[in-house]
Amino acid sequence: MDRVRKTADNISKIVPYDPKYLPADAFLSANENPNDVPDDIRAEISAEIDKVQFNRYPDPLANELREMIADANGIDRECVLVGNGGDELLFDTALAWGGPGRIFLNFPPTFSVYAANANLTNTDVLNIERVPENDFAIDEERVLDICASDKAAFDFSILASPNNPTGLISPEGFIDRFLQATDALIMVDEAYYEFSGQSVRCLLSANENLAILRTFSKAFSLAGVRIGYIMASEEVIREYIKVRQPYSVDAVSQAIARVVFAHRDYFLAGTKRMIAERGRMLEAMRRMEGIKAFPSDANWILFRIDDAHRCWEYLYSKGILVRDFSSSRSLEDCLRVSIGTRGQNDAFLEALQAFLCSR
Ligand SMILES: *Cc1c(COP(=O)(O)O)cnc(C)c1O
């Protein structure tokens, strides 16, 4: 660029986020739900969208949806905030709790969006690496030591549970001690909580510094619609409302999410089937020679294999797109496969076995 002034240093050096989206028969790369919203629920959605006034601004706080989420979780409406996907709320977290001179505590390898948002907002990052030998668990004692020795070591932290892309949840007992050990904001990202069946929701009432993130993109089949939410204390939600874009959640998305949430039992039944598929996949992969498959509480399996990038290419040549982490730090030789439909999972297992035999 020479006829336009440069962006700020922290922006100009950023490489734009690339979801590595490629055409394929089986998309097993983005942890989406392999099943779209069924026809009868779509019909209800269409009826709700018909009622939307397109010329009017949406309800900024999506109060109807907010109320449904609050009721389902046994908390007040003021303790819920809906966002344009979980990603918007992650960005708002960095906007509100980060900034120049402030510090974000991160647990890599984890969701890359966290560190990217810190960079965008000029927030310093303190990394505590997860332990590969322990299925990428967090080094709990180290975290608690840091909290005990320096109250100002960090201003906020985000802990994915289950952790993407490694797979396991963090134990509730540790999260409880972590919350008690600091007054920094701790966000627990439960984007995949419907697949783990474990939530730290019960820690909300005793911990004003806890925020829980959820999304409609995974279990609820709405990755294309962009709805996520936070549950936290009223005081924390008020800080989020200060930094958010007032109309980020459009009226059509609000209507779609209300119908889907009202039918959540239907989607949770689908989740159960995916959990069973996860068990079947893990078992099959563990029987294969030359693969280390990591345990998972989510809707994907991370695995280590020699020649991982060649394996990725081979799978792609068979129409199967998985996520290649083999050039990411601490994830050398690792690929991540999302749980798909039974047919897609079988195609993946067959192709993986064929790759192993071809070597
Ligand atoms: C998918 C995901 C989210 C949220 O995604 P949205 O589509 O923006 O709601 C948040 N955290 C993690 C770890 C995810 O994998």
HSE, CB side, 13 Å, CA atoms: give it for residue 279.
7
Whose C-alpha lies nearest to ligand 1, atom 1? 191
Q: What token pair was written down for 154?
A: 């960090």
Task: Kindly report the backbone phi and psi dihedral angles of residue 217, in degrees, each rounded to the nearest multiple of 5, phi listed first.
Answer: -80, -20
* Closest of 321, 349, 350, 346 to residue 336, by C-alpha: 321
Predicted confidence at residue 21, as pLDDT, reads 84
* Closest of 234, 220, 172 to residue 199, by C-alpha: 172
Cβ of 88 closer than 6 Å to ligand 1, yes or no, is no
Residue type, 13: K
Cβ of 167 closer than 6 Å to ligand 1, yes or no, is no
Q: In which residue are the tokens 């996907």 written?
A: 85
Sequence-ordered alpha helix ranges (H) in the chain: 9-12, 39-50, 63-73, 85-97, 112-120, 140-149, 172-181, 193-196, 234-243, 251-262, 264-286, 308-317, 342-357
Tell me if 218 sits within 8 A of 31, measured CB to CB: yes
Three-state SS for 293?
strand
Query: Cα of 355 to ligand 1 centre, how many Å?
Result: 31
**Residue 16 parent element (H or E):** none
Tens of pLDDT, residues 118-136: 999 999 999 999 999 999 9
Cβ of 32 closer than 6 Å to ligand 1, yes or no, is no
- DSSP annotation of 203 reads G
DSSP assignment of 125-141, as one string?
A: EEE---BGGGTTB--HH
**Which of 164, 229, 299 most suits a substitution to test ligand 1, by most atoms within 8 Å of the C-beta?**
164
**Which of 88, 111, 323 most suits a substitution to test ligand 1, by most atoms within 8 Å of the C-beta?**
111
Tens of pLDDT, residues 225-277: 999 999 999 999 999 999 999 999 999 999 999 999 999 999 999 999 999 99
By the 10 Å C-beta count (0-12 exposed, 13-18 middle, 19+ buried), 225 is classed as buried
Cβ of 109 closer than 6 Å to ligand 1, yes or no, is no
Query: Cα of 131 to ligand 1 centre, how many Å?
Result: 23
**Which of 168, 217, 338 most suits a substitution to test ligand 1, by most atoms within 8 Å of the C-beta?**
217
What residues contact residue 155 under an 8 Å CB cut-off, 6+ apart? Answer: 97, 98, 102, 103, 104, 123, 184, 185
Query: Cα of 301 to ligand 1 centre, how many Å?
Result: 16
Predicted confidence at residue 359, as pLDDT, reads 83
Cβ of 85 closer than 6 Å to ligand 1, yes or no, is yes
Tell me if 148 sits within 8 A of 181, measured CB to CB: yes
**For residue 1, pLDDT beyond 70:** no
Strand 156-160 vs strand 185-189: parallel, antiparallel, or unpaired? Answer: parallel
What residues contact residue 46 under an 8 Å CB cut-off, 6+ apart? Answer: none
**Which of 215, 216, 221 most suits a substitution to test ligand 1, by most atoms within 8 Å of the C-beta?**
215
Predicted confidence at residue 226, as pLDDT, reads 97
Q: What token pair was written down for 177?
A: 């001690």
- pLDDT band, residue 16 (cuts 50/70/90): confident
Query: Cα of 257 to ligand 1 centre, how many Å?
Result: 16
- DSSP annotation of 292 reads E
* Closest of 253, 248, 252 to residue 61, by C-alpha: 248
Cβ of 223 closer than 6 Å to ligand 1, yes or no, is yes
- DSSP annotation of 36 reads P
Atom in ligand 1 nearest the alpha carbon of residue 90? 10
Averaged pLDDT, 210-235: 98
Query: Cα of 196 to ligand 1 centre, how many Å?
Result: 15
% of the chain with per-residue pLDDT over 90: 96
Euclidean distance between CA atoms 27 and 32, whole angstroms? 8
**For residue 2, pLDDT beyond 90:** no
Cβ of 107 closer than 6 Å to ligand 1, yes or no, is no
Q: What is the pTM of this model?
A: 0.97
**For residue 188, pLDDT beyond 90:** yes
Tell me if 229 sits within 8 A of 214, measured CB to CB: yes
**For residue 147, pLDDT beyond 70:** yes
Name beta bridge partners: 26. Answer: 320
Sign for the CA dihedral angle at 219, 115, 106, 327 comes to positive
Whose C-alpha lies nearest to ligand 1, atom 5? 86
Tens of pLDDT, residues 299-312: 999 999 999 999 99
Query: Cα of 39 to ligand 1 centre, how many Å?
Result: 25
Cβ of 58 closer than 6 Å to ligand 1, yes or no, is no
Atom in ligand 1 nearest the alpha carbon of residue 86? 9
What residues contact residue 53 under an 8 Å CB cut-off, 6+ apart? Answer: 251
